[in-house]
Chains A and B, each alone.
Chain A
């Protein structure tokens, strides 16, 4: 399993385009939109209150972190499709590893990448844009890890559903744009109509945003609410992973 993980990490490090898409693009977007938000007229946060100019980053950084975490679905699904096209997936299946180890081996490097991506964005938010990390910054870690797990598991599922790279693009665009839009990544959740806020609870994005909101913006984060959100994200992870695993077995 670790051999697959190390191999995929090596291949990911060589894929400069994917890396720039996952790290440089969200960073640039946060920078541009953060500057623009200083001129926004009475913007409101998820709780309906006004956003102070510097605290706009506390909305933008997690929102874009969540959105771009799910960009990973595209990169990960492509990696599995490539394994199929290169014929190496078949070779991996004839090696002495279990299908479970094979799937985890393929998932872990993308989870590491996703965590690194989130860490870079939060570090940039803090040190480039002056974004506050809230009263208990360490709580960012479980949220980041759980969101990344949900995204990578979803990537795995998409990879087993899609048969071609075009299908990967179609499905991942849906995941990135539509789910980000309805869950409150593109505009603060407080701006969404009530029914959409409720409906968006069917997306992992919404739970991740609520958890980040607790860490970054609440004076005293509600631990129950935060870890409850993390639990839901782990639930999504389990569903996606099992979905991907059963599809993977069908493919075999």
Chain B
């Protein structure tokens, strides 16, 4: 099968601030119509990466190409093909939503007549048609976020860079924004979506990278990532569980229900250094070892299953549970 040509390709990107390496050899690519997620805790290097793509920061190493052409320095014409929705709001509160769009449309050199119809289209899309003449300083948080998004897509970019676009918005506005992103991708726009909201990334992105300390820890589709995540075997045992409990490996966590005296065992399985197929075989091997152990201990097995790890479990297993302050 022929691989699609990447719209955006980030290769071995590096950025230092003083001695601190903020982005370290980071590479990924996005094809047309793809929503690619960059998932990471605060301070992981997501925003710095985004800022390098849109030209706000100069990389210390590596390359960024758009349709095979390098994005370097202040090549202002290339910015016409990139849409950027920054994490912090970037709107003029003293102007109306329509004036904001008019201004940014003029800045991107959209001719007057098509701009007028494009503004109406974007207003309708972001659900602000009825408030188009209202001063946006008086908007709610969700309305401001939607306008922030609308400005980023006004000039019909080929690639859209979204840096946590739903921070602090109500569920309705969030759902609306996510629908807009899906619709845009369906028209062929490539999207890079940085967030630490796992459920958003899970729902939206076809492929994603988990980033921490400026490095990509894992890249793949949701299915691929979850298969490479930490696996567990969960089992419930009724009679004769005391002996079994003594013979279980130390990493197994046991919890006895006071109501029905059922012993619930949660056992993490180390499956590192195995291929995807190898992972499933090794997991089955572990399951059968555990069943034999239950039988030999004279216990009665009620149920056993091997749940697929959630994105949250995978994320925490890779990035740890230490609090991040950004």
Contacts and interface: CB of A to CB of B under 8 A. Distances in A.
Chains A and B form a bound pair: yes
Interface of A: 2-4, 6-7, 10-11, 14, 86-88, 90-99, 252
Given A90-B56, A93-B55, A98-B76, A3 B94 contact: no
A14 B89 CA distance: 22
Interface stretch (B101-109, B239-247, B315-323): B101-109
B103 A7 contact: yes
B93 A86 contact: yes
Contact of B86 (A3, A90, A95): A90
Interface centre among B54, B92, B108, B151, by most A CB within 10 Å?
Answer: B92
Interface string B77-95: 1111010101011111111
A134 B106 CA distance: 44
B56 A94 contact: yes
Contact of B92 (A3, A6, A88): A88
B116 interface: no
B56 A88 contact: no
Contacts of A252: 56
Contacts, number: 65
A96 B105 CA distance: 11
Contacts of B90: 86-88, 90-91
The 7 A-B residue pairs with the shortest CB-CB distance, nearest first, are A3-B106, A87-B90, A91-B90, A96-B76, A96-B79, A87-B88, A94-B54
26 contacts: A2-B106, A3-B103, A3-B106, A4-B107, A6-B106, A7-B95, A10-B95, A11-B92, A11-B95, A86-B91, A87-B88, A87-B89, A87-B90, A87-B91, A88-B90, A88-B92, A90-B86, A90-B88, A91-B151, A92-B107, A94-B54, A94-B79, A94-B82, A96-B78, A96-B79, A97-B107
Contacts of A91: 84, 86, 90, 104, 151
Given A4-B107, A96-B76, A252-B56, 17 more contacts: A7-B103, A10-B95, A10-B99, A11-B94, A86-B89, A87-B88, A90-B88, A91-B84, A91-B86, A91-B90, A91-B151, A93-B55, A94-B55, A96-B79, A96-B108, A97-B76, A98-B74
Nearest to A102: B107
A185 B11 CA distance: 59
A88 B74 CA distance: 18
A104 to B, nearest CB: 14
A250 to B, nearest CB: 13
Nearest to A95: B107
B94 A96 contact: no
Interface of B: 54-56, 74, 76-80, 82, 84, 86, 88-95, 99, 103-104, 106-109, 151
Contacts of B104: 91, 95
Given A3-B106, A252-B56, A95 B79 contact: yes
Contacts of A86: 89-93
Contacts of B92: 7, 11, 86, 88
A96 B77 contact: yes
Interface centre among A6, A91, A98, by most B CB within 10 Å?
Answer: A91
B103 A14 contact: no
B56 A14 contact: no
B242 to A, nearest CB: 63
Contacts of B95: 7, 10-11
Contacts of B88: 87, 90
Given A95-B104, A96-B109, A87 B56 contact: no
A191 B173 CA distance: 66
B294 to A, nearest CB: 59
A91 B79 CA distance: 11
A3 B107 contact: yes
Contact of B74 (A2, A11, A90, A99): A99
B84 A94 contact: yes
A6 B107 CA distance: 11
A10 B102 CA distance: 13
A83 B252 CA distance: 56
A13 to B, nearest CB: 11
Contacts of B107: 3-4, 92, 95-97
A87 B74 CA distance: 19
Contacts of A98: 74, 76
A82 to B, nearest CB: 9
Contacts of B93: 86
A66 B84 CA distance: 42
A3 B94 CA distance: 16
Contacts of A11: 92, 94-95
A92 B84 CA distance: 11
A43 B240 CA distance: 112
A97 B86 CA distance: 18
B145 to A, nearest CB: 12
A10 B98 CA distance: 14
Contacts of A94: 54-56, 79, 82, 84
